[in-house]
Structure 1
Amino acid sequence: MIRFAASALALSLLAGTAVAEPVAYDFDKSHANLSFTYNHLGYSTTDGRFGNWEGNLQIDKDTPSNSSVEFTIDIDSLDTFWADRDTHLKSADFFDAAKFPKATFKSTKVEQTGENQLEVTGDMTIRDITKPVTLQVQVTAMGEHPMAKKEAAGFAVTTVLKRSDFGMDKYVPYVSDEVNVTFHAEALTAAQTN
């Protein structure tokens, strides 16, 4: 009976303990870049970026596995610094932006793999095709932002996508199937609303 009472007391104390919730962060788009590169015929590397995207970031510093991220990318904002190539990449040969104007990523798992290193696994959807993707995340900074005077985080994110996985296999293997994606960003704690 004493053992049962002690167990009940312990459970009630645990139940009453406040559990920290993940904190919402807003991306600072003036200090963020979503870019990609791919190999062209073995002769050169082509660079590009997406200028318009939205992200929803939740960070639990104490328990990173409770963190999450969602992304929506405006395909029409693709820019490879050559207008004719941009038009072709947005055409039905590749992204088919008129029919599929958005690409999305939604995390399903966050795992700390080392000091300041995370693996974020999630579902990437391009052209209405969804595939699992793993992002390698280097946390470059975490703490009070020296200018904004609020909690901030910095990230360098990389992954490799196979465009053929998303129905974009034109010119493979001459133009590389693998596309290297990089995302650099700062994020600040979101304004609290009551």
Structure 2
Amino acid sequence: MAHIPMRRRTLVAGVLGTLPLIRPAAARTRYVFDQNVGRLEFVARHLGVLSSTGRFEDFSCELLIDPDRPLTTNVEVTVRTGAVALAYPGAVDLLRSPAFFDVEKYPEATFDGAATGEGTLARFFLAGNLTIRGITRPHRMEARLLERKMDPALGREVAEFSAAGDMKRSEFGMTADQAAISDTIRLAVRVRLLV
């Protein structure tokens, strides 16, 4: 048997002694949702006094949640930019036009991010990359667990989450109508998941 110096034996024993504390990563649970169980909205200010709320009617989202560490959840969202709804005459055509989403050239927008580990389920943060019109910028949202309860009709537990954050449309090349429409746009999502 090879001779190992005492100092090195102590170090090896110390490292080996910590191994039982290291657990293999738990399998992540995959949740998928879309406009049927969630809402994805945007809010803009007009002339500094009014606001309008629009929504995307075709999107998909995938969450990967580690049950032991929910504050490290991964999220991927894909939005079909042409499926936009806003209750002002001509607004939908304007948003689909090259001045805004340019849906012919860029039919999808995406967000790819993860929970940062900050906060609690009552208030935590998501950070990642938002891509609109082929331009990618960092984006951060504040998320909340609004409610978690047993649904007797479904016989399953239901959790309702929300998340919201601000973006600057000019950072994505949408600079039209700056005098009338605010540069800051609030993005908000709300979803109800079976857990």
Q: TM-score range by the shorter chain?
A: 0.7 to 0.9
* TM-score relative to the length of structure 2: 0.84
Query: What stretches of structure 2 of length at least 5 have no aligned partner?
Result: 1-5
- Cα 1:184/1:131, change in 2 over 3 Å: same
Larger radius of gyration: 2
How many aligned positions are there? 188
Are 2:72 and 2:114, in contact at CA under 8 Å, matched by a contact in 1? no
How much has 1:24 moved relative to structure 2?
1.2
Counterparts of 1:114-125 in structure 2 under 5 Å? Answer: 114=120, 116-125=122-131
Are 2:34 and 2:58, in contact at CA under 8 Å, matched by a contact in 1? no
Q: Distance in 2 between matches of 1:30 and 1:162?
A: 28
* TM-score relative to the length of structure 1: 0.84
Q: Which amino acid aligns with 1:171?
A: D
- Cα 1:5/1:86, change in 2 over 3 Å: closer
Q: Which residue of 1 aligns with 2:86?
A: 80
Q: Distance in 1 between matches of 2:121 and 2:101?
A: 37
SS of corresponding position for 1:176: strand
4+ residue runs over 6 A deviation: none
Query: What stretches of structure 1 of length at least 5 have no aligned partner?
Result: 190-194
- Cα 1:186/1:28, change in 2 over 3 Å: farther
> Residue 76 of structure 2: which of 70, 81, 92 is its match?
70
Counterparts of 1:1-194 in structure 2 under 5 Å? Answer: 3=10, 6-7=13-14, 9-14=16-21, 17-27=23-33, 29-82=35-88, 84-114=90-120, 116-142=122-148, 144-189=150-195
| Larger RCO (CA within 8 A; separation ≥ 6) | 1
**Same amino acid, percent of matched pairs:** 29
